[in-house]
């Protein structure tokens, strides 16, 4: 299955979690004819991932005027290495613009492989059509510490484990499927497509598939995508 089909990439698509949010957004943007990349949180400079980035207070207007795709829209360059994101309610303006999909980074994870959101996260707009909670299969076997997990104490609370414990496949599945984890603040009516990333070899695909089965045991989702998002053919399984 193609990546665009696997994650239902149309309308407003929000990536949350850890271990591949930006990679997913850029991979989708390169596979759609008219994609918008934006954020409701800080996002590293991504000019090389799109045809153009417009810094604007009128993102919908910038999208309607776009002549090169995919296009990025952001409200402000906060510093040399990152942009700020829009308030979530501004994304509704983009939803009405002429694009195949609006791809939104809706929380941060500081490049970690697993996370459970804080009190103020995620920043998912009410207009979201699809929410993709992401975790990296490469968290499995690592200790539950800040080196691997963003907000490890939150992950511990969600999974019932202790900070420092070895992360199991079941723990990753619990985080993805938990209402205080990957399902936090998902708007009513939005489709949830959990994704397990970094399944870069056969053994990791097996572990990721175990995680996917665990998600199905814990949450009512139609499918879980197992992926290696940096690969030319990123979808390894749909469970």
Q: How many residues does the chain have?
A: 239
- State the number of CA atoms in the 13 A half-sphere of 90 facing the CB: 18
pLDDT value at position 200?
A: 97
d(CA 95, CA 113): 29
Query: Which parts of the chain fold into alpha helices (H)?
Result: 3-6, 21-29, 59-64, 91-95, 152-159, 169-177, 202-218
d(CA 130, CA 50): 21
b (16+ CB within 10 A) / e for 172-184? bbbbbbbeebbbb
Beta-carbon neighbour count of residue 17 at 10 Å? 31
End-to-end CA distance of the chain: 11
Q: For the whole prediction, is pTM greater than 0.95?
A: yes
Extract the tokens encoding 23. Answer: 């990679």
pLDDT value at position 185?
A: 97
Q: Which residues are within 8 A (CB) of 61 and not within 5 positions of it... i.e. 6 or more apart?
A: none
- Please report, for residues 2, 94, 98, 179, the alpha-carbon distance to residue 74 in angstroms, rounded to integers and kept in the order given: 28, 11, 17, 29
Residue boundaries of the structural domains of the chain: 3-36+103-238
pLDDT value at position 79?
A: 86
Is residue 35 classed exposed, middle or buried when 0-12, 13-18 and 19+ CB atoms within 10 A define those classes?
Answer: buried
β-strands 43-44, 82-84: how paired?
antiparallel
pLDDT value at position 98?
A: 83
Tens-level pLDDT at each residue, the chain (239 residues): 899 999 999 999 999 999 999 999 999 999 999 999 999 999 999 999 999 999 999 999 999 999 999 999 999 999 889 999 999 999 999 988 989 999 999 999 999 999 999 999 999 999 999 999 999 999 999 999 999 999 999 999 999 999 999 999 999 999 999 999 999 999 999 999 999 999 999 999 999 999 999 999 999 999 999 999 999 999 999 99
Class of CATH domain 3-36+103-238? alpha beta
pLDDT value at position 70?
A: 98
């Amino acid at each position: 299955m193609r990546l665009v089909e696997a994650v239902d990439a149309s309308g407003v698509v929000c990536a949350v979690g850890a271990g591949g949010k930006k990679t997913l957004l850029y991979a989708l943007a390169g596979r759609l004819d008219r994609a918008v990349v934006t954020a409701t949180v800080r996002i590293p400079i991504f000019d090389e991932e799109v045809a153009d980035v417009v810094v604007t207070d009128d993102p919908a207007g910038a999208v309607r005027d776009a002549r090169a795709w995919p296009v990025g829209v952001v409200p402000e360059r906060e510093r040399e290495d990152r942009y700020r994101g829009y308030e979530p309610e501004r994304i509704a303006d983009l939803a009405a613009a002429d694009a195949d999909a609006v791809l939104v980074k809706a929380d941060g994870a500081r490049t970690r492989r697993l996370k459970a959101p804080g009190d103020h996260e995620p920043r998912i707009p009410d207009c979201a059509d699809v929410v993709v909670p992401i975790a990296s299969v490469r968290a499995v076997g690592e200790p539950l510490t800040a080196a691997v997990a963003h907000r490890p104490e939150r992950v511990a609370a969600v999974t019932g484990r202790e900070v420092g414990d070895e992360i199991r496949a079941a723990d990753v599945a619990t985080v993805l499927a938990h209402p205080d984890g990957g399902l936090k603040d998902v708007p009513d009516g939005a489709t949830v497509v959990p994704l397990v990333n970094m399944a870069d070899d056969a053994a990791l695909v097996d572990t990721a598939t175990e995680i996917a089965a665990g998600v199905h045991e814990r949450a009512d989702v139609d499918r879980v995508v197992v992926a290696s998002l940096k690969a030319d053919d990123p979808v390894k399984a749909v469970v």
